[in-house]
Chain A
């Protein structure tokens, strides 16, 4: 196991290096330089003379050769300094620390919700195959996999505004400060994000459970007179869970991306909203560091998912 872990960690290092290089190049090589991007975007509103431009460029270190810029960026990031917003000079790490927990909370709640809804529906629909419940759940799965999460979010808001004349609050309330206020802000986005994922989970749980149900060891368990509940819990459930973990793992990328649009739909002040805002305002330091953050989170999540397979399925770690 520790050898597998080490191996997996070693592969992650060049990947992370590649991620930083890709972001760095994307931000510099193509449009001249990041500052050019900002200035050309906002002509008429924020025009700098050539000298001013050079001065700003020098103050941001953009007059240095690329390898020095890259080195400086890496040194900053590793020391935890994410720079500050180009427009209002607010430190980016502070914004991440304030908004990150909200985004993380929404994502985690969405995953929990998807298990809470998806696994039971999938299992039941497999066990009562071709029943009315099975047919209904399959229709539901097909629909909810297709529904875009941000649109589901808009529908939820529309419904709550029309019926309850209530809008989700848009200030940052942390869970440890005011649990109720925090939940009223995060539950609905988590629902919008989690329902689609529930459908994917249910679909995978159903097919995994069906596959397991026809295994010989299930017949053996039943033949030896094991109670059905025990058969289901001890044999079917346990063995059907690995593919479910896989789906969740694969879906997390979509979840992180989907969260960006869902947060925008709900105007939740999370990281995704910050990213979109940074992108529309061409706040390049913010874009650069937030995309890096998303990349790192995703790499780490993938690592954890891989490790959880190895943990759940001994065959993988001995390969």
Chain B
């Protein structure tokens, strides 16, 4: 781009160097954050909750009062006291510490799964929409097949095959994100394909790959970002449900979902704290993700908001 700055002068003779006028990336980013905060205070609260979760995850060893894996057989299923603020579980492990450590699994799984799944969907959707023809036809039938399973069932099937574990859970959840990411990207690309700048790029003989990377992909980024933020909540739910069913994160590791597994089965007097607190953590995380996703979508496409609200 630098070679094209044969700078045009406006009427007052001031040189308008388009490139030079662009402020620093950090400045642009922070001003975008400011505008986002102004457009949606609730969205900012949601971001704050996620930041808190990050702090919890990163500083878990400092923040948590006990070792999340250390069993204390003297205090099995102890109700909340000053010593154990949220009580202890069936092995006497401190619930608060387990919830703090659980934030790690929630964040790692949801963010990685959404990133991987939506990235694959993004690339696939661009290729499918832009190349069209036979590749598109076959791709869309494959997506049809992936979409013919309820997401959780597909994830369960994959976990039976791959076995339970952190990485396999991420793989299973990311696969379930692929179809919708592909479909949405493809739909966007179909309209980008018809624009005159893509036409122009074709005219001057740009290769398909170059057009997809330089001209189509940047235009399709905003929609996929919105999809990704809206996928986050679903990914958190999926991880928790899979772990709850005993097919996700295997037990000694503290995941909010597997902490809920079987809590009501054994006990005669149900330990309410074991049911309530992990679930509250999951709900808040999902709610924050959803609220951020909604606010982010409205921020990028204010027209949509005016229509709905």
Chain A residues with a Cβ under 8 A of chain B: 11, 14-16, 18-19, 22-23, 26-27, 30-31, 37, 142-143, 145-148, 150-151, 154-155, 157-158, 161-162, 207, 210-211, 253-258, 260-261, 264-265, 267, 275-276, 279-280, 282, 287, 291, 294-295, 298-299, 302
Contacts and interface: CB of A to CB of B under 8 A. Distances in A.
A274 B240 CA distance: 20
B152 interface: yes
B282 A158 contact: no
A76 to B, nearest CB: 19
Interface string B131-163: 000000000011011101111110011111110
Contact of B263 (A154, A162, A282, A299): A154
B283 A264 contact: no
B308 interface: yes
A295 B233 CA distance: 24
Of B237, B240, B286, B287, the most chain A CB neighbours within 10 A belong to B237
B308 A295 contact: no
A146 B234 CA distance: 9
Contacts, number: 145
Given A254-B152, A279-B156, 4 more contacts: A37-B160, A158-B276, A161-B270, A299-B148
A150 B244 contact: yes
Contacts of A155: 275-276, 279
Contacts of B291: 142
Given A146-B290, A162-B272, A261-B152, A151 B145 contact: no
Given A14-B141, A254-B150, A148 B237 contact: yes
Interface residues of B, number: 45
Contacts of A291: 149, 153, 156-157
Contacts of B265: 267
Interface in B279-303: 279, 282-284, 286-287, 290-291
A211 B304 CA distance: 11
A148 B151 contact: no
B270 A158 contact: yes
Contacts of B286: 146-148
Contacts of A295: 148-149, 153
A65 B168 CA distance: 28
30 contacts: A15-B144, A15-B148, A16-B148, A18-B148, A22-B146, A23-B157, A37-B160, A146-B283, A147-B279, A148-B241, A148-B279, A151-B240, A154-B275, A154-B279, A157-B270, A158-B272, A256-B153, A257-B241, A260-B152, A264-B245, A265-B264, A267-B265, A276-B245, A276-B246, A279-B159, A279-B247, A291-B156, A295-B148, A295-B149, A302-B148
A161 B272 CA distance: 10
Contacts of B150: 253-257, 294, 298
The 4 closest A-B pairs by CB, nearest first: A257-B152, A18-B145, A146-B287, A151-B279
